[in-house]
Every structure is written in structure tokens, then in C-alpha cells.
Chain A
């Protein structure tokens, strides 16, 4: 039997772990426990709850108001891994710098990032937003329409990304992608990047922006991007959305063209 003294001696370890990884515990609590409880209580999915909140609190047609309400809900009420306001600013800046005409978004989720991208695009630009989950896509569509973007501007594709990318040219008549924003499953980053490379839709100077490359992280994706020599890679360091203490980053890949 382990004596109580030895157990007490392990107390510092426990304290250390709790203090050091407190943000992860907070994340666990907010993203998993609260969600589970609310799911049981309300019977709605998390995304639907978010939509209800936005519907009641935001001004329709005003994208800024919708985004603000979203941020408020995510930081005060529950947690949804949107891109968040801080990383969103980086996204806005990139969009303003490059003024892309054709944008592909992988992982619409609730449409937060779609609205964010759409509002800083030039006139005549078009977003192809890919979402696998149908319920999420329904919510996303509602939110996008609420923000005042029509189908000419935002094309929502409800299919897995690995099916969509090879068929972009045939089905949607896309010739060249100026900007690709990745925020879906971190595991799919690398395969989708390969698909994008193979499809030939990337032109010289095309930007691929991948969110959450540090936490939860996409190490294989980053490794490939750094080593294959096709891209100029920059990692924008930031923190995880709505939680301060967890470091995260966005990878900005500039396609250099195949030589």
C-alpha cells in the first residue's frame, strides 16, 4: 500500500499539471462538457443554437453585426471553433492585399468565415464554400443569407471536400483559384492540398490559408508545404479563437508555380 505521505508528495505534480494546462481544461469544459449538457437539455445542435442567438441579437443584412454577435456567443455562451476575431483580422488583411476573384473555402461550418471572406471581397468575386455536414450547411446558408450575400456571391457545396476538388472545373466551371481557405478536418488538409495541386487550379501567386495548423495542428500538412518547394510558407502566430492561452497559427502558403 502506498503511504499517504507519498501520495502527498505527488501533490505538487498534480498542481503543476493543472496550472500549466489550465487553458486546455477550460477548453475541454467549454467545448465538450457544456456542449454535451446543452445538447441534452435543448435537443438542438450547437450550430442551431448559435443561429437562434444570432437571429435574435444581430441586425440582418449587417455582416459586421452578425460576426460580432457570433464572437459574443462563442466567447460568452458556448464554444464553436470559428476563425475568431483576431485571426479573422489576418484573414481580412490578406484578402485586402490580394483581392482574389475566385475563393474556395473548405469547411463552412456555421458560415462565420464565409461571411468574413465575402464582405471583404471585391465586386464580382465568387466564393465556393464546401461543407460536408448537411445540418451545418443548412445553418450556414441561413446565416449567409442573413448577412445579405446571395447565391451569385457564395456558392455552398454540400459534399466532402475530396469529392468536390477534382470536379470543381467540370461542375462549377472554375478555371483558377486565387484564394483557398482551409478550416475543415485537420486530417484532410494534406490530402486536399495534394488534390488541389493535381487539379491544376492553383496559379502562380494563389494563396492557401490554413487555419489551426498549430492547435489542433496539422504537422504533416506543414511538413509537406515546407519541403515540397511549391510554396512560400508563412505561419502567422496567434492564439486559439476565444481562448487566450493556447497558441495557434495560420499557415499562409503562396503557390510559386510548377517549374
Chain B
């Protein structure tokens, strides 16, 4: 009903419009077109595209459509036969249907061949039509096309569109029409044709990418072909099979849709994917690479956390002895009063210290609970396992990334690279795009200047000098900061010896403060210094990373050395405590039970028992504190440096005498290098300290989680995109390499302490043992059958281990050398390809040059000829040549060329025309004055032509 109404309305408009049309027959086409668009854009489209069709064809088409319509609605057909008015309406419906179909049809797609097929089909339809319905229909139909044809004629005059295009349009349109209705009325032949058409569309969709069309045309034709295929594909097939086929197609579509949705769902399941993508679109991939790295780190920490939490902390909390049962699990009497104070807890003292969070709480009982859980063994294996797992993951990721990197650097096509690859397609923000645009432009300018300079004279000395100077300055900074930390640590040791109570907060936290401040501000200084060097930002980022790496490493190792000193102090203290312990025990026994030594020993409350300093817990505490203070510094910097700055800049800008947003303070940029290194070093500290403080992975997980949200928010809210946005394609592996180095460097001290320093005598899972790794031996002896221990002892025999290691080294060496060979071969192949390409290019150039020379010669000849002959004669000649050229061109390029425009043949005299076609294309590459690109109008020709005259 709704559709009918609409069509009626449409027809009315149409008819009015046509009436007007006929009156205006003499007017020019442009006016008409304007009017068309006023009435209905669709209608005008319809008409213009039908422009070139012949009258008879049109008639057939119409009739055929009617036939289809009638096949579609039999009842209506009967009625329609009777009344003229109804017939008119039907006519209009046809018209409307026509328009409707054309909406879906493709523009300018098919060519002559298809047209032939179409004609055949139309004929066939015609016959069918005649057979089915009376001739009256024909007459009715003829009224409309006549009108239409007139219009078409007028329009085709006004339109300078190519004939072939419009023909193809009409073809596709007429092809669409039969398929639009119910296929019941179609004969197998028609179906076949339809199938062909669908196949052709499919082919078109597949090959569309390679077609030399403008993008708009491509898009339009793609959309329309897709619609066409979608519409008619399901309807194909025969009889019963058709339904099944349609069903199949429908299911296939559903399945595809489901797959797409599922893909979307999967993307949505990747944590923070949308956030990161958004950031990437605003800030370019270098900033996004940091967040991807953060997410990756989060994943790793998740597993570390799972291991320590599931295998160490939870079993101890559930199955181990409860709090207060042992001296190591109780807060000593001296600290009891302040053990619950927030300041103490915040410092991880008091109750926090005597809990599962730290090494000292764990008991050395071999098996705990009803599960007989081997706690010390589990503790040791988890400590080793986390590190081993980290190594594995880092190395695997590195190897995978290394595969992606293409070997070899190409410096030969500098400008081509810049032209074709400098855009970051992930940018989705106009401001960033603006920045990127500006940066590309400036980089182009710089490169051009560089190229010019490098051709003139090598001014590399200045750059080298500046780079050396920058490195020298950075080294100075590093040395200065190293000395400062050393100084502070020494001072803090002095404070510690004298007793910390005498000093204030500043003195106590001096080391942390200095380290954080240096870690925060030295990178800024490096950044400023690095502007001297004038590197590409990606390389500059790597340098910056390297420098900050050195700085942080220095800080970290100073910290570790200080810690080692502290461990030595604690161990000396422990010796004293051990001695005192025996005295205390003796006193205990003497005081309470002077005579009777056989009675059950009266035990003191565990809080009163004197205990050793437990250096392991101290180390763990230090790391936890460091992590906490580091996190706090990061967040506070974020809040003050980014957020408050942004707020100030934003709101003070309204009442300030210069532009704060673009000028002096401005908004901050996201500091990729600093953040990445902060993350890496943080992870290093986790690896180092996790053995002594099982809570560290949990804390780190929390920190990463919070910083993910906080930094995402801060970046989007208060940072601006970098001035030189660049792609971070190669930096991921650089991060990984640094992570690996840090992993190695951080496991070194941990392994050193585990292997060389004996564990404390009264705390931790390894208390009472000579070394921590003795737990393995113990397990082998007691928990495994005797033969296993024997086998193990044989296997660990140096006579076996050393050859095995040798074999391993040899295998690694072999694999590495083979991979190197492959790489080299690859490089050579690449080079070969390049040289081949260059040779080809040279050859082509030579050929083009030769051809151009020839042409030039001939032209000069013809010019002298022209001078002799009369102007008239030349014109005659040229006009005749014109036509020939025109035909040739239309055939070749499928473009309509107006006679007045195709003048290329006029330039050359009669004898040249034969060679002209062959020389034209190559000549156009090198020389602007002769020849033209196939698809373009011929400005240069025009010029030369006019010059000649």
C-alpha cells in the first residue's frame, strides 16, 4: 500500500514534468538538467543514463518489463486489461519500477560484449511477451517511450558523456530489470544470462582494485555490484534447487555476519584494545606502542602473580601455622604498640612485615597441611620458575618480532619512501593529522636541503662534533648523578649507624627522593641535549632510551650495592643475636627451672623470644618501598606535571597576556621513552625482589592496572600529540632487548644472594639450611626413590654436564651461523632485484629518450614542411588525421574525446602518423612537450600546437 502510494505520487510528478519537458523542447540541455534535479535526482539520473539507447531497444525493454510485472501479479494484470485508466497507472508503475531498478544498477560497467548478450535476451523476452499478452499492451507501451526518447535525444545532445558508458548503463539496467521480479516468469536462458551477469559482477568485485578508475567511480560500482549480487544471487538456481540455493546463500550470509560479529567480539575481549586504538588514532603509533607494551607487561605479571599467589601465598595462609604460633610469625613485643599504626603499615613494618607478604613469615616445615604441601620446595621453585618463565617469554617475543623485520636498509629511494610511506594511517584525529602533515612537509624540506648540501659539500663535521658534544654532556650528567647517589647512600649509611631517630623525614627519605628526582629530571635534560644531535625522532628515541637506561641502571646498581652493604651489616647483627640467643635460653631455663631439667620446658610467648634481623625480609621490604615510592612519584608527576599544568593552561589562558596553549608552558607531550623505561625498570625490580617479597607481583599488577587507566585518561585528557609524530615500527624489539638486558641484570644480584649468602637462622622457608638451594637436595633424598637420586647425582656429574653444555653451545653456534647465511642470501637476492629494477629503469629511460629524440627530429622536419605549405592545407590534413586519432583513442582508452581536443596528430606531418602511435607513450614520460598520458586531455599538445602556429 505504501509503495503504491509512493509510486502514484512519483508518477504524477513525472508526468507533469514530462509535459513541461515537451514544451521546452527547444531549450538547452543544461536547463533541463537543472530542472530534473529539482523534480527528482533519481529521475534525471535515469534519463541521462539512458541517453544513448535506441528507440526500438527501449520499446522492447519497456514491453519486457511490463511482461515481468504481469507475471508477478496475475490478478492485477487481468483487471488492468480492462480499464484504460488502470493501464495508465500500470504504465507509470513500470516507469517507477524502471527507476527503482536503476537505483541499484551499476554505472558504466560493462562493455560491448555484454550488450550483445543483452540484445539477445531482450529479443527473447520480447517474444515471450508477445506470446503471453495481447498486442494492445504494445501500443500502450509505445506512448511512453516516445516521449522519453525525445527527452533522451535532447539530453544526449547536451551531455558530453561518452557513448559507450551510457550504453553500458542501459545494458546493466535492462539486465537488472528481469531479475528484479519473481523469477518464475523467466526462462532457463534468461536465468543463464542472469547467472552470467552475477558472475560478471563477482569478477568485477574481485578485480576492481586493479582497475584504472577514479576512486569515486570504483566505490560506486563496487557498492552497486555488491547490491546486485546480493539481490540476485539467492534467486538463482532451478526449481527446487533454487530454494535450497537461496537458503544456502542466506545461511552463508548469516554465517559471515556472525563471523564478523564474532571478530568484533574478539576484539572487544582484548583488554583495553579500544582505548589503545583511540590513543593510537590521536597520538600516532609511537605512543600506542607504549600502551601495548604496558598491556603485554600486564599479561606477564598476571602469570607471575598467579604463580606466587597460587603456589606460595595462599597455601601458606591456608595451611601453614597461624599468626602468633611461632616467633617468626609474631610481632615482637617492642613493636607491638605501634604495629597497627598507619605510618608503620605504609612503610610495610608492623603487621604487614609479619605476614605472608614477606619471606620471613614462612616456616621451614617441610610439608604443611593435609595436602603435605612441600612449602620450602614450592617457594624455591616458584622463585626460579618466575624468572625462567620471564626469560622464555621475552626471548620468544623477541624472536617473533625479529622475524617481522625486513633485513637491509634502503637509502637509495629516499624521496619515494617519504612520499609513499610517511603517512601514519592509524591517525584519526584532525589535530594529529595536521601535525603529521606539517611534520611530513618539514621533513621533505629538510631532506631536500640535506640532499642539496650533501651534493655541495659534506658538512658532516659539524653534526659529528655536535653529536660527540651531546654524548659528552650526557656522560657528564650521568657521572654527576652517579656521584650524587653514591654520596647520598654513604650519608644515609652514616645516618643509619648513628640511629635514624635523630633525623627528620628529609634525611630518612633522602636516597629515595634523590633517586626519584634524578630519574625524573635527568631524562628531561637528556631530551634537551639530544636536540643538538638532530637525529630522526625514531633514532633519537632509541638514543634517549639508551641514555635513560644507563641512568636508571646506575641508580639501580647503586641501590643494590647499598643493599648489599646493609645485608652484611644485618648478618653481623645476626651473629650477635645468635650468641645472645643461647645466653637468653640459658637464662630462661635457669630462671624458671633451676633444678629440674627433665620437666617439660616452659616456653616463653613467641613475641618475647629474641630474634635475628632477618636480612631477607629487609631486602623484600626495601624493594616494596622502592616500588611504592616509584609508583607514587609517577602518579604525582602525572597529576602535577600533566593534569594541573593542563588545567592551569586551559583556564588561565582566558586571562593571560600571551597564549599559554601554544606558547610557553603549553600542554605536555607524552614522554614515551621515560615511561617505557620506568616500566622496564619497575619490572626489573619486581624480578629482583619477588623472591624475598612474594607480594611484589601482586603490587605490580595493581600498579600496572591503575596506571593503565590513569595514563590512558591522562594522555587523552591533558597531553597533546608530539610535534613530530612518527611511526614506531621498529621500536618494539628495542624495548624487548632492553627488557632482556634488565632481566639478566636483575636476576644477577638475586642469584648471587641465593647462591652465596646463607639464609637467616630463624626466619623464612630455608631457615636452618646452609644454602637456599639445599632444599632441592633434601627433596631428592627424602621424597624421591633412591634410584632417582642416584640418577640425578650421575646426571649432575661434571663429566656429563660439561659435554652436554658443549653440545648445546655447538648447536647454538650452528643454528646461528645457518640463520646468518640465510639472511645474507636474502639480502643478496634483494640487492639483485634492486639492481635489476634499476637496469630496467635505465633501459626504459634510454628507450624513451631515443624515441623522444626521434620525435623531435620528425617534428622539426614537419615544421619546415609546414612553413612551405599553406595554412589551409595543413588544416585539412590535420582535421582528417584528427578523426583517425579520435577513433583510435576511443577504441583504446574507452574515453570520449571531443574532436577539438584531440589535436596531437596535428603536430606531426603526414609521414609521421604511423610512428606516432608507437612513440607517444614512452615519449610522454621524459618530455613534457610531446605525447601525453593515455587518460588525460592534452594540454601540452595544445600549447605546442599553438606555438607552432
Contact = CB atoms under 8 A, between A and B. Distances in A.
Interface stretch (A70-78, A114-122, A212-220): A212-220
Contact of B514 (A9, A15, A186, A237): A9
Contacts of B487: 5
B396 interface: no
Contacts of A19: 525, 528-529
B518 A12 contact: yes
Given A217-B662, A219-B662, A5 B524 contact: no
B778 to A, nearest CB: 47
A6 B659 contact: no
A219 B506 contact: no
A29 interface: no
Nearest to A22: B528
Given A6-B506, A217-B658, A217-B659, A15 B525 contact: yes
Interface in A178-217: 186, 214-217
B636 to A, nearest CB: 15
Nearest to A219: B659
A216 B659 contact: yes
A215 B658 contact: yes
B241 to A, nearest CB: 59
Contacts of B664: 21, 24
Interface in A1-31: 1-3, 5-6, 8-10, 12-13, 15-16, 19-21, 24
Interface in A214-258: 214-219, 237, 247
B665 to A, nearest CB: 9
A2 B524 CA distance: 23
Nearest to A15: B525
Contacts of A247: 662
Interface string B240-281: 000000000000000000000000000000000000000000
Interface in B475-489: 477, 481, 484, 487-488
Given A214-B662, A217-B661, A219-B659, A12 B514 contact: no
A96 to B, nearest CB: 23
A5 B659 contact: no
Given A1-B506, A3-B510, A15-B525, A10 B661 contact: no
Interface in B505-546: 506-507, 510, 513-514, 517-518, 520-522, 524-525, 527-529
A6 B524 contact: no
Given A3-B506, A3-B507, A5-B510, A219 B661 contact: yes
Given A3-B506, A216-B658, A219-B653, A12 B524 contact: yes
Q: Is the interface of A mostly helix, strand, loop or mixed?
A: helix
Contacts of A16: 521, 524-525, 527-528
Contacts of A219: 653, 659, 661-662
A216 B663 contact: yes
A215 B659 contact: yes
Nearest to B527: A16
A8 B657 contact: no
A247 B513 CA distance: 36
Most buried by A among B438, B481, B504, B517: B517
Contacts of A215: 658-659, 662-663
Contacts of A20: 528
A8 B517 CA distance: 10
Given A13-B524, A216-B657, A2 B517 contact: no
Contacts of B504: 1
Contact of B525 (A5, A12, A186, A217): A12
Contact of B518 (A1, A9, A214, A217): A9
- How many B residues are at the interface, by size bracket? 20 to 34
A102 B662 CA distance: 33
B491 interface: yes
Nearest to A20: B528
A56 B520 CA distance: 54
B534 to A, nearest CB: 15
A154 B780 CA distance: 103
Contacts of B514: 5-6, 9
Contacts of A218: 659
Nearest to B518: A9
B882 to A, nearest CB: 39
B663 A10 contact: no
B435 to A, nearest CB: 12
A214 B514 CA distance: 38
Contacts of B438: 237
Contacts of A186: 658-659
A10 B514 CA distance: 9
Contacts of A10: 517, 521
A237 B518 CA distance: 36
A55 to B, nearest CB: 32
Interface in A73-107: none
A186 B655 CA distance: 12
Contacts of A1: 504, 506
A13 B521 contact: yes
Most buried by B among A12, A13, A19, A237: A12
Contacts of A24: 664
A63 B168 CA distance: 67
A13 B524 CA distance: 7
A9 B484 contact: yes
Nearest to B655: A187
Contacts of B491: 5
Contacts of A237: 438
A5 B528 contact: no
Most buried by B among A3, A24, A215: A3
B522 A12 contact: yes
Nearest to B723: A247
Contacts of B657: 216
Given A216-B658, A217-B658, A217-B662, A9 B513 contact: yes
A6 B513 contact: yes
A247 B507 CA distance: 44
Contacts of B525: 12-13, 15-16, 19
A91 to B, nearest CB: 21
Nearest to B434: A235
Nearest to B513: A6
Contacts of B510: 3, 5-6
Interface in B638-664: 653, 657-659, 661-664
B484 A214 contact: no
Contact of B517 (A9, A15, A216): A9
Interface in B174-188: none
Contacts of A216: 657-659, 663
A21 B664 CA distance: 8
A215 B518 CA distance: 32
A8 B663 CA distance: 29
A69 to B, nearest CB: 28
B455 to A, nearest CB: 26
Contacts of A217: 658-659, 661-663
Contacts of B529: 19
Nearest to B487: A5
Contacts of B659: 186, 214-219
A92 B214 CA distance: 39
Given A218-B659, A219-B653, A12 B477 contact: yes
Contacts of A13: 517, 520-521, 524-525
B273 to A, nearest CB: 33
19 contacts: A3-B506, A5-B487, A5-B491, A5-B510, A6-B506, A6-B514, A6-B517, A12-B521, A12-B522, A13-B517, A16-B521, A16-B527, A21-B664, A24-B664, A186-B658, A216-B659, A217-B659, A219-B653, A219-B662
- Please give me the 10 A-B residue pairs with the lowest Cβ-Cβ distance, nearest first: A217-B659, A216-B658, A9-B517, A12-B521, A13-B521, A16-B524, A12-B525, A19-B528, A9-B514, A16-B525
Given A5-B491, A217-B658, A217-B662, 12 more contacts: A9-B514, A10-B521, A12-B481, A15-B528, A16-B525, A19-B525, A186-B658, A214-B659, A215-B659, A215-B662, A216-B657, A216-B659
